[in-house]
Amino acid sequence: MSLEKQDVDIHTSPEKEQVEVKVVKGNEAFAEAMTKEPPRAWTRPQMLIYAFSIIGFFCSTMNGYDGSLINNLLQNKAFKEYYGVQSSGIWAGIVSSMYQIGGVVALPFVGPAIDTWGRRVGMVIGAGLVILGTIIQGTSHASQAFMGGRFLLGFGVSIAAAAGPMYVVEINHPAFRGTVGAMYNTLWFSGAIIASGAARGALNVGGDYSWRVITWLQALFSGLIVLFVFFLPESPRWLYVNNKKEAAKAMLTKYHGNGNAESPWVSLQMHEYEELLNMDGADKRWWDYRALFRNRASVYRLMCNIAVSIFGQWAGNAVISYFLGAVLESAGYLNNIEQANITLINSCQQFLCAIVGALLVDRVGRRPLLIFSFTACCVIWLGMTIAAAEFAKSGGGINSDGTARQGTNHAASQASLAMIFIFGSVYSIGITPLQALFPVEVLSFEMRAKGMAFSSLAVNVGGLLNQFAWPVAMQNIGWITYVIFTVQDAIQALIIWMYIPETKGRTLEELDEIFAAKNPVKASLAKKEIGLNQYGDVVDVHEV
């Protein structure tokens, strides 16, 4: 909520009430609650919500470990020799893409699992499938079994990665939803860091253990989710629409109202639940997807959800995440240990940048961060294209058989490496925190679980293109691949500027009025002048 306090108090006579005028971006009911009961970030109930959110974050950590593991395996000489493959090419694309294929196949099951049994059970189902996939991979002796395990990982992660952010966003206090929700996807890097660190350490072990050990570690965070998730409270919104209104109010009273059932925050949310949540909506029918296409506002919401989900996959990050080994080889970094060190350092700096970005989402806003990051990614890929082209002129790059050749232009090689790190920074600041938060925010409750299945579908379809196209492109056209990313990022930045609305400063239910507007972007950026009396009640509202 953006509040701009004006130095004006309106007094017409001593008998009339004093009115304080503020200019706000967002909903006046939210502003009233902020004034009457300013939220405190470090109360005991809020600390408990943070602790509950950590279990939800594990879905992201699990995704980060599982998703980035293949990059580390494709840099592992023992793994490549065991299956007779290179770090780029068709096999690399197929084994990597099984993760995305599993996610696509999971689409019909995501919404029903989360809507029928709740957000917590959704996380358990996803984590359980990840454990099963890990067992298959860890005991595999053939590439087909390894790929089958990876398919199950993708299937399970698709469910958990929808349930996790929904749980985190729905249980958090409205005033802290943005920051905590944005933290969810930053924990992807904690998984990536653990994967990179474990892979780096396992290289000292040597042999098959150097890749089997890190494969078994995929079960770590999924196991923690299964162990602890039922100690957590359920989402109050899910409780409310499943005829557990008293349980929903009790949860809000305990954690959002600090034990006060008359808290403005409890009253605000319960009133919105009563007014806006459908007790017999499509979320009660596993087969009913009509809520996603019911009217213009619903379709607009879904398009925003899908756009941000798939744009995050098409910024060029997939090459860095999954095929960094091939990128480093094209830049002249051929040593296994050297590649592992670069991967680990890159993951660490991206994690730190993502945390900074998460802390900015409620200060700067969602739109500015997205526009900045995609524009910056465009510029960086342009620089990467130039540096890689210069390195190729000196004889460096990747041969048609997937093997690398060393060039002589060390300045261009170092410039390429610098671009990799800079790309990771700007991507992590603006795109990483919002990849999970924004798609959840833009969907109404009735749409949310099934809509997040479409978000998962978009991510995985985008990922399939990444897995099949880019390794082959890197092998056949090398640095020219980066030109595609340059153009894509420019187009995506323009689309966000034109069509993606701002969501900060409102509860999830208050976003209905934004998407019902003729121009959602304009409505989301509009300012209001509100008058508050000495009790914090809104007594007057004007459009600015």
Kindly report the backbone phi and psi dihedral angles of residue 505, in degrees, each rounded to the nearest multiple of 5, phi listed first.
85, 15
The helix (run of H) or strand (run of E) holding residue 296 is helix 296-311
**Among 163, 448, 158, 437, which residue's Cα sits nearest to residue 292?**
448
Angle between the 432-441 and 296-311 helix axes, to the nearest 10 degrees? 160
Distance, CA of 293 to CA of 289 (rounded, Å): 8
Kindly report the backbone phi and psi dihedral angles of residue 348, in degrees, each rounded to the nearest multiple of 5, phi listed first.
-65, -45
pLDDT in tens, the chain (544 residues): 444 444 444 444 444 556 565 555 556 778 888 889 999 999 999 999 999 999 999 999 999 998 778 878 887 888 888 877 666 566 766 777 888 899 999 999 999 999 999 999 999 999 999 999 999 999 988 888 899 999 999 999 999 999 999 999 999 999 999 999 999 999 999 998 898 889 888 888 878 888 999 999 999 999 999 999 999 999 999 999 999 999 999 999 999 999 999 999 999 999 999 988 876 666 677 668 888 999 999 999 999 999 999 999 999 887 776 556 666 766 667 677 787 788 788 888 999 999 999 999 999 999 999 999 999 999 999 998 898 888 777 765 555 555 555 656 778 778 878 888 899 999 999 999 999 999 999 999 999 999 999 999 998 888 778 777 777 777 777 778 889 999 999 999 999 999 999 999 888 988 998 999 999 999 999 887 666 676 667 666 666 6
* Cβ atoms within 10 Å of 485's Cβ, excluding its own: 24
* Cβ atoms within 10 Å of 14's Cβ, excluding its own: 6
* Cβ atoms within 10 Å of 436's Cβ, excluding its own: 33
pTM for this entry: 0.84
Q: Is 543 exposed, middle or buried (0-12, 13-18, 19+ CB in 10 A)?
A: exposed
Distance, CA of 192 to CA of 68 (rounded, Å): 6
Angle between the 432-441 and 177-186 helix axes, to the nearest 10 degrees? 130
The answer to whether 362 touches 30, Cβ cutoff 8 Å, is: no
Distance, CA of 244 to CA of 236 (rounded, Å): 9
Distance, CA of 385 to CA of 537 (rounded, Å): 57
Q: Is 346 left (phi over 0), alpha (psi -120 to 50) or beta?
A: alpha
Give pairs for 518-526: CB < 8 Å, separation 24+: 520/300, 524/367, 525/25, 525/501, 526/25
CA separation, residue 538 to residues 166, 273, 530 (Å): 31, 21, 7
Residue 474 tokens, joined: 């890197």
**Among 43, 540, 490, which residue's Cα sits nearest to residue 254?**
43
Distance, CA of 438 to CA of 179 (rounded, Å): 12
Distance, CA of 93 to CA of 105 (rounded, Å): 18
Distance, CA of 227 to CA of 223 (rounded, Å): 6
* Cβ atoms within 10 Å of 254's Cβ, excluding its own: 17
Half-sphere exposure (Cβ direction) of 432: Cα atoms closer than 13 Å: 34
